[in-house]
Structure 1
């Protein structure tokens, strides 16, 4: 097991290194921030001085090596717009996006797994068919339209929930959090539901498919033949064996919630990283864009590494293959 994890960690390191080159070169060949950030009324000497201060006067390979050197020290460069470290700019917005993604994923897990388990165990019931029909809507309805409808119904017509902003926050561990206040939770509910809709449908259908595959296996039939209680068969034999693909989806989809919450954050005015990256793209704030993309790369690589660890805990065959 240890050998397998070390090998995966080395592979993850090479992936991150390769992505630094792809991200840095890709961002630097698209658009010129000089055209946006520098006053056109400046003369040639002043313009050259500003370009030098931004570090854009060096060849691309030198800029990349400087970026790598800074990356080893946790420095992604200074934001062209905010005039402070790009990582600090992102970290300021990270808690808002993180708690929104966590809330959405909790909703998706709490709703999706039980409903998928029920629909898989009792596929012929009318209620199961209604559940599966509802999951189709979760896949089909566009996020921006659902968000607008949630605002129209629950904020405008009924007036039950606020439509934008983060609400009241409480400082905990040096960070402001919304979920620790009732007002913050009320502001979080609509965007979290909007984010969770697609993920709930995905987890639900995957769980249902896994249940139907597992219950046909011989070890489940043998468990029933032994006279084990139905709940023990479901939670010990069925649920544990279908969790491997579910864990994979949960891990990857949690990363996507953080990385791709741009639409939801824009609709609900949620002050997270999604809105920040849109503003940075409009202004060609390269350090912030590169820092954000590299954080997403590290996030997905780390999630895959954690999923590999979960595999070794859920499936003994993974450990045996590692020893082989």
Structure 2
């Protein structure tokens, strides 16, 4: 475990939304990573740290989850606060109440709102209507909490981030988007390999390439998995059919066949590469059992860090 960092809470982040890493500077992102590492140290050492005592987080779930719900709920408890689980069926938005109205009402009761949903527009509108910080727990466009936890995990294993190469193999989805923005801001090289027709959003790609240019990194998109993995420090993949795309499963299995992360592909990465997957995983589909359960895999460190990274976000903005 890392040595004590004595990270102080920055007052300038209080009250901000956490919708995407694109809204945060490289210094802000590194600060949140450092804070997450320190909060993890405190937890492991049994040191109580409760800056959110008496505060409540409302958690709106329109998409189901294991890691998101458990990590936010436990994280709020450890920070001294309380988390309130709200499914779509628990709220009037399930019956057509405008999200802006929901936001204004919930702001009167809560100190922060986390939402895990489909349309990214829903997150934007919730934040526009809310007077308390809003955290994007996942949308179809981005998954910034997962990406922050991922970069925390790489930082812990490699000691630094700038100059490292991460290869993302698979669907150009919300996970790819947040990893791209994060890598670009942190001065890393990210190579995204997808089948034709499954590439990342063009606006996200443009924003990532611009940020990479400003921070000494690079953002590359290719349709060649081997090219992406060549000399990579990190190899990352995700399921081929994300939540909401299950009907395309058979079609995607054919399209993604050459993008399976296996022992043959990872031979082109650096010998000490890290394998990462945001989970849940389909062993034998997007990744072989030998890779995901092998010595280079850090998937459970990565999953654990969802707790610590999200505690850092909540402590900083709430």
- Indicate the TM-score class for this superposition, using the shorter chain for normalisation: under 0.3
Larger radius of gyration: 1
Structure with a larger share of its residues in helix? 1
Structure with a larger share of its residues in strand? 2
Point out which structure has higher relative CO (alpha carbons under 8 A, 6+ apart): 1
